[in-house]
Structure 1
């Protein structure tokens, strides 16, 4: 069957003007068309062609795929969920599932996920945010996370023969890398996603659900220990205390050639090498070290889940599409094509020969997502975590600054 890939504009025009298939369920019109929204650039053209060609042939359906942009996607998905023209499958950011579930317009996939999709082996950073109040609304699709990107040549010059496995060794190695015009590490003062990993590694959290009421948790002893380590690490380099990793872009700083390490997704290596081609072949990747050598640091897991609207016209067919995309065959293909982390730690072996993706996969096994409150987006918009970090790095009392930030987070989670 003919594959149909529509632009956002064409899809909107069809939904507004169609007098045929848009007004009748596809099975009543004599065809079955599964309408899918994917985020732009989440998959390559060659992967999409392989999947759609194979799936349509095996299942005798048409896949109508529309690409969406991240800008404004929250409002667009919410509107679609409430309409009679809701798509059948939607790719969403893993941390967005809770806000869409809050509408009451998502189909509960708990039974399907338990029965057929091996939910017990999903990455926690994709699985947990897809689960809202005990119901699985989001099915994990793919993940990506931060690693340490480093200069192999500078490590060798400093006598470091292998990447550090513990925080203590990481600090020691970074100190060795400082000197002779080299900065051991560049870490901005407001890189709060990296801070979150250190907090989780200590057993703390950014916010906690206490009987249905979310409260900020930066002032807890565990969270304060995470901040203390961040402060110690950040002091080993020239990163600004009052800016995040995009001000200036840390990839640009690294590309200048005098920095040995940054904490970033492996995709940053492309930007680095484009800006400084002399670094090609000199970059390496390793998981962010943990407190002990037996496991890397917890990390923030970014990525996507797949959801099905309650009003999906082709619900049964949509479930089958999700099962295929989340299943081993197409997870393996997607991971190798896009250098993503597959949705299960048991599939990490499919990227073991790819240094950057393998480093991500090791960290993703201990990955987490931001607090699973539908109001978390309000916290990120106001972001009291950033000024808290700057205050501590500039010498203010950490506990007092954390209590102020926690109170602000509590207010935002209560009021949105």
Structure 2
């Protein structure tokens, strides 16, 4: 699952001269191990890397692996699901594909991906971000290799915080966050702009309470919004949401929350750091007033749990050059290129041990702190059906508008259960 607004730029353009978007090549050379040349076809998604980074990596890869001809083909996010499904079922699949981290399970279930479990140690898998590594696995086997991550932080107005006497560096707990937001919520100013259906933020609060969106029991997935822990997460969401004027029946895209903040009357939003770029584009006067801090947790010893978006790299089982494909994956997800990618794109690197690589980037640094407590949506192919219907959003609106929270949570959980198991 990919966030489209990242810290480096709100829109990134990648231009490459490539022939078509076909799958694997027809060369009969070796696997890149020195016994002959391999032509390696790789699908990367639009905006995942910049043209500059792509060129640097391609040149570096050619120098260290002269027996592999690398062809990177940029794919569009719209319609990619059907395209990947078709490629995995064909005899002409590309050799490496970038896919959203929460999509790995559905492709692994089809049997179209190469099992890379025995490569985890070689790739430093013990240090991978949990929010990328866990959804990259399916039924105990690792298919997706963490590529990069992004998650939400608090984007705030430094000037409004100063005027209210609020020190953002002192906000370490959710209680402190509420107290600070109450101070900021005055006159015509919103302490926070939080819509009623920002369900990724709700997921984090539920995880903080020890709950989950859904749980697996006896091989069956069941919605869990009516569990006590999940209800406690919703109670906190409700408390925070009332400290602003966000609509209770819309998500953060309707209207775009960064555009709302750009109007000058909002002290903070929950967003990926790239939201700050949109705010500055809409209102240049705010460019130097924007800062970031991790979403606070229940206690000061760790930040709040966040949904980890980002991508994994997979190798199709039908790849004709699996050894060369693994060489590519190992290079791009290795420490050296991960550090360069993180700085170039303001991403969170794929390992917790590399967090210091983005220390000079305030937005990415705040993301990296939160990423250590990152999670993903329930790891089931059926989750796509839940997001398509998204009863979570309707539940949140109902809870925020005075309807019985527990009753509405039970109703939404039943709908989630049906969706997950009918799809699986």
- Over 3 Å counting, the alpha-carbon distance change for 1:55 and 1:24 in structure 2 is closer
| Displacement of 1:354 | 1.4
In structure 1, C-alpha distance between the alignment counterparts of 2:403 and 2:243, rounded to whole Å: 19
In structure 2, C-alpha distance between the alignment counterparts of 1:121 and 1:113, rounded to whole Å: 10
In structure 2, C-alpha distance between the alignment counterparts of 1:151 and 1:297, rounded to whole Å: 20
In structure 1, C-alpha distance between the alignment counterparts of 2:115 and 2:92, rounded to whole Å: 19
Q: Retained in 2: the 8 A contact 1:298–1:368?
A: yes
Unaligned runs of 5+ in 1: 16-20
In structure 1, C-alpha distance between the alignment counterparts of 2:137 and 2:86, rounded to whole Å: 21
Aligned residue for 2:71, secondary structure, equals strand
Q: Does 1:43 align with 2:49?
A: yes
Aligned to 1:299: 306
Q: Retained in 2: the 8 A contact 1:208–1:216?
A: yes
Q: Retained in 1: the 8 A contact 2:352–2:372?
A: yes
Q: Retained in 1: the 8 A contact 2:27–2:38?
A: no
| Displacement of 1:26 | 3.7
| Displacement of 1:181 | 2.5
Aligned residue for 1:281, secondary structure, equals helix
Summarize deviations over 1:342-374 as a string: whole Å, max 9, x none: 001110001112111010000000000000001
| Displacement of 1:5 | 5.1
Q: Does 1:217 align with 2:224?
A: yes
- Over 3 Å counting, the alpha-carbon distance change for 1:90 and 1:22 in structure 2 is closer
- Over 3 Å counting, the alpha-carbon distance change for 1:257 and 1:305 in structure 2 is same
From 21, 26, 37, the counterpart of 1:11: 21
| Displacement of 1:137 | 0.2
Query: What RMSD over aligned residues (CA atoms) do the two structures have, in Å?
Result: 1.5
Q: Does 1:183 align with 2:190?
A: yes
Unaligned runs of 5+ in 2: 1-14
Aligned to 1:85: 92
Aligned to 1:285: 292
In structure 2, C-alpha distance between the alignment counterparts of 1:98 and 1:313, rounded to whole Å: 22
Q: Retained in 2: the 8 A contact 1:6–1:67?
A: no
Aligned residue for 1:203, secondary structure, equals coil
Q: Retained in 1: the 8 A contact 2:154–2:295?
A: yes
From 82, 89, 109, the counterpart of 2:116: 109
In structure 2, C-alpha distance between the alignment counterparts of 1:161 and 1:375, rounded to whole Å: 43
In structure 1, C-alpha distance between the alignment counterparts of 2:65 and 2:212, rounded to whole Å: 44
Aligned residue for 2:135, secondary structure, equals helix
Summarize deviations over 1:384-409 as a string: whole Å, max 9, x none: 00000000000111110000000000
From 101, 115, 124, the counterpart of 1:94: 101
Aligned to 2:355: 348
Aligned residue for 1:371, secondary structure, equals coil
Q: Does 1:140 align with 2:131?
A: no
Aligned length in residues: 404
Q: Does 1:247 align with 2:250?
A: no
From 130, 136, 139, the counterpart of 2:136: 130
| Displacement of 1:10 | 1.6
Q: Does 1:382 align with 2:389?
A: yes
Aligned to 2:330: 323
Within-5 A mapping of 1:142-291:
142-163=148-169, 164-291=171-298
In structure 1, C-alpha distance between the alignment counterparts of 2:85 and 2:17, rounded to whole Å: 20
| Displacement of 1:192 | 0.3
| Displacement of 1:23 | 3.8
Q: Retained in 2: the 8 A contact 1:126–1:301?
A: yes
State the TM-score, normalized to the length of structure 1: 0.95
| Displacement of 1:162 | 3.0
Q: Retained in 1: the 8 A contact 2:315–2:325?
A: yes
In structure 2, C-alpha distance between the alignment counterparts of 1:234 and 1:211, rounded to whole Å: 36
In structure 1, C-alpha distance between the alignment counterparts of 2:307 and 2:414, rounded to whole Å: 23
In structure 1, C-alpha distance between the alignment counterparts of 2:133 and 2:104, rounded to whole Å: 10
Summarize deviations over 1:173-200 as a string: whole Å, max 9, x none: 0010111421110000000000000001
| Displacement of 1:24 | 4.4
In structure 1, C-alpha distance between the alignment counterparts of 2:330 and 2:164, rounded to whole Å: 49
Aligned to 2:404: 397
In structure 1, C-alpha distance between the alignment counterparts of 2:110 and 2:119, rounded to whole Å: 21
| Displacement of 1:34 | 1.0
Which stretches of structure 1, 4 residues or more, deviate above 4 A after TM superposition?
4-7
Q: Retained in 1: the 8 A contact 2:27–2:39?
A: no
Aligned residue for 1:10, secondary structure, equals coil
Aligned to 1:25: 28
